[in-house]
C-alpha cells in the first residue's frame, strides 16, 4: 500500500500508512514549520503558536490495527481573560490511541460497542494522520480561560448601583412614580 492521500482538512497533515510501520514499530519526531504553526494557531483560535512538535511511537496492533503513543508539546500565545493582555502557555499532552480497520470483524465473535470510551479509532484510508492527532491533542490541552498568574478579577463593590444591571430601570421607575403624583 502506498502513503495515504492527504485526506485531512486540518491545518497539519502527516499521513502514515499501515504498510509504513514495520513489525518492530516506528518512531517519528515531528516539528511544525512556521506556515503550519500559523495555520494551526488560526484553526485553534490562538493568538500565536511559536512552537509545535510531537513525538510518536507507532506499532502494529491486533489484526491490521495501529497503536500510537507519544506526546505533543507547544508554546501557545493566548489572551488573559482578566487583563486582556497577551500571555504564553506551555502545552504538554500525552497521547495513547488504538486504531483498528473500520471493517474489522468483532473480536472473539462478540459485538464491539463503538461508543465505549476505550473503543479503537477507525483507520481511515489504511492509515493515520499524525499531524491531525497532534492538532487534536494540542486543542484538548489548551486552557479555555487562560489567565496571567498575577491577574485578579475584581468585581464592583456590592451595593453600588452601577453593579446592578437593572439600576437604570429602577431609576426610571422611581422617576416615573414621582411624575404621577
pLDDT in tens, 109-156: 555 554 555 789 999 889 999 999 999 999 999 999 998 887 677 666
Cα(157)–Cα(168) distance, integer angstroms: 17
Neighbours of 167 (CB within 10 A): 12
Cα(9)–Cα(21) distance, integer angstroms: 24
Q: Which three cell numbers stand for residue 32?
A: 511544525
Q: Which three cell numbers stand for residue 140?
A: 484538548
Q: Which three cell numbers stand for residue 179?
A: 411624575
- Among the residues of 108-166, which ranges form H helices? 130-141
**Structure confidence at residue 82 as a pLDDT band (50, 70, 90):** confident
For residue 100, the 8-state DSSP code is E
Q: Which three cell numbers stand for residue 52?
A: 509545535
pTM of the predicted structure, to 2 decimals? 0.74
Amino acid at each position: 500500500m502506498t502513503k495515504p492521500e492527504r485526506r485531512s482538512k486540518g491545518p497539519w497533515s502527516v499521513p502514515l500508512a499501515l504498510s509504513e510501520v514495520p513489525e518492530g514499530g516506528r518512531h517519528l519526531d515531528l516539528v511544525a514549520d512556521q506556515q503550519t504553526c500559523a495555520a494551526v494557531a488560526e484553526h485553534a483560535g490562538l493568538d500565536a503558536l511559536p512552537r509545535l512538535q510531537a513525538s510518536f511511537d507507532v506499532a502494529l496492533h491486533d489484526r491490521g490495527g495501529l497503536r500510537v503513543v507519544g506526546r505533543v508539546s507547544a508554546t501557545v500565545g493566548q489572551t488573559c481573560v482578566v487583563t486582556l493582555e497577551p500571555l504564553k502557555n506551555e502545552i504538554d499532552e500525552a497521547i495513547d490511541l488504538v486504531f483498528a480497520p473500520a471493517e474489522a470483524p468483532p473480536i472473539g465473535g462478540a459485538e464491539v460497542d463503538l461508543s465505549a470510551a476505550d473503543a479503537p479509532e477507525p483507520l481511515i484510508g489504511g492509515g493515520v494522520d499524525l499531524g491531525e492527532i497532534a492538532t487534536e491533542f494540542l486543542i484538548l490541552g489548551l486552557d479555555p480561560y487562560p489567565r496571567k498568574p498575577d491577574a485578579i478579577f475584581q468585581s464592583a463593590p456590592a451595593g453600588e448601583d452601577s453593579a446592578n444591571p437593572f439600576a437604570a430601570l429602577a431609576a426610571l421607575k422611581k422617576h416615573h412614580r414621582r411624575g404621577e403624583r
